[in-house]
Amino acid sequence: MNENPLPRIAAPSLKSIVLFSQRLIGNKAKWVQRSLIFVVVVYVGLLILAPLAALTVSAFEKGAGAIFSSLKHSNVLISFWNTLWISLVVVLIHTLFGTIVAWVFVRHRFPGRSIINGLIEMPFVISPVVTGYMLLLIFGRSGILSNFVEATGIRVAFAFPGMVMATLFVTLPFMIRELIPVLENFDASQEKAAATLGANSWQIFWRVTLPALRWGLIYGITLTFARALGEFGAVLVIGGAAQGKMMTTTLFIYHALEERQYIAAYSAALLLGVFSLALVSGSNWVRNKVQR
């Protein structure tokens, strides 16, 4: 191999030391480097890409025609429609309130702030089943608000309002977590400059603050939307044995699997997976492109 003697100079410069050490590391570590890369690529390939490939192959097993005919089934279409509008409502609510929460969190100082900081991410680690169950304990038949539910006639449990609330709980952290760092890095002196130039606080928010938050908002919306599309456990519990018109896509997949309608389940799963994948990677791509 490369057997260079030590550089014979009286006082080696810093540059020569770095070059020498780089060669030292480089020569020794060539095969280590290759094998490490190999291990990771195989791991990622087997763990993450192989299952995706298997799903794609299985869905197309009986040809694209079988996929289309199983997806044309009215239950599938209704379930996709339900998932879509529930997710949109959730995104709308979180965009509005998430911005307010992130704003208050970054700009205001108040007691209990650090506790709230920890609590915001709780939905992220709380089991979706427990989430649905919590809502049942509040709105269910023997729940805390059951009198209110009976008096007003608004059904929450086993109905769409409950499914929206469950999805709201599960997706709570995404918007806030995306916006907080953006707001922290945003220079408040821009707002002050706008104020000295005579803008009122609404104008300042609309013209100065909001444009600065743009990418945080877009990414927060994407993540919230993708998570809402895929929510299953919480919706399953609060929706009860939701059938027919009440189903979301994940519930449809679950029931189709139970009834052994594999092609329908696989096709819906593939479609849902590809859709949320396209959503997330699309917004990533746009962000990289714009920021470069």
Question: What residues between 80 and 99 interact with other proteins by CB under 8 A?
Answer: 97
Between 141 and 214, name the residue whose CB sits nearer to other proteins.
Answer: 141
Q: How far apart are CA 239 and CA 159, in angstroms?
A: 6
Q: How far apart are CA 263 and CA 276, in angstroms?
A: 20
Among 74-82, 153-161, 179-187, 194-202, which window interacts with other proteins (CB under 8 A)?
194-202
Between 136 and 163, name the residue whose CB sits nearer to other proteins.
Answer: 136
Q: Does 104 bind other proteins (CB under 8 A)?
A: yes
Which one, of 112, 85, 102, 108, lies nearest residue 173 by Cα? 102
Binding mask 110-149 for other proteins (x = CB under 8 A): x-----xxxxxxxxxxxxxxxxxxxxxxx-----x-----
Q: Based on the number of CB atoms within 10 Å of its own CB, is 42 exposed (0-12), middle (13-18) or buried (19 or more)? A: exposed
Instruction: Please report, in angstroms and rounded to a whole number, the separation of the first and last CA atoms in the chain.
Output: 41
Q: How far apart are CA 118 and CA 131, in angstroms?
A: 18
Between 152 and 200, name the residue whose CB sits nearer to other proteins.
Answer: 200
* Long-range contacts formed by 149-157: CB under 8 A, 24+ apart: 157/238, 157/240
What's the min distance (Å) between Cβ of 280 and other proteins?
4
Between 74 and 196, name the residue whose CB sits nearer to other proteins.
Answer: 196
Binding mask 147-166 for other proteins (x = CB under 8 A): --------------------
Between 21 and 152, name the residue whose CB sits nearer to other proteins.
Answer: 21
Binding mask 2-21 for other proteins (x = CB under 8 A): ---------------xx-xx
Q: How far apart are CA 173 and CA 187, in angstroms?
A: 24
What's the min distance (Å) between Cβ of 195 and other proteins?
4
Q: Does 210 bind other proteins (CB under 8 A)?
A: no
Query: What tokens were used for 216?
Result: 């945080």
What's the min distance (Å) between Cβ of 99 and other proteins?
10
**Could you please report the per-residue DSSP string of 191-222?**
HHHHHHTT--HHHHIIIIIHHHHHHHHHHHHH
What's the min distance (Å) between Cβ of 155 and other proteins?
18
Phi-psi category of residue 158: left, alpha or beta, with phi > 0 → left and psi -120 to 50 → alpha? left
Between 133 and 186, name the residue whose CB sits nearer to other proteins.
Answer: 133
Binding mask 15-54 for other proteins (x = CB under 8 A): --xx-xxx-xx--xx--xx--xx-xxx-xx--xxxxxx-x
Write down how long the chain is: 292
Q: Does 232 bind other proteins (CB under 8 A)?
A: yes
Q: How far apart are CA 105 and CA 109, in angstroms?
A: 8
Fill in the DSSP letter of residue 200. Answer: -
What's the min distance (Å) between Cβ of 213 and other proteins?
15
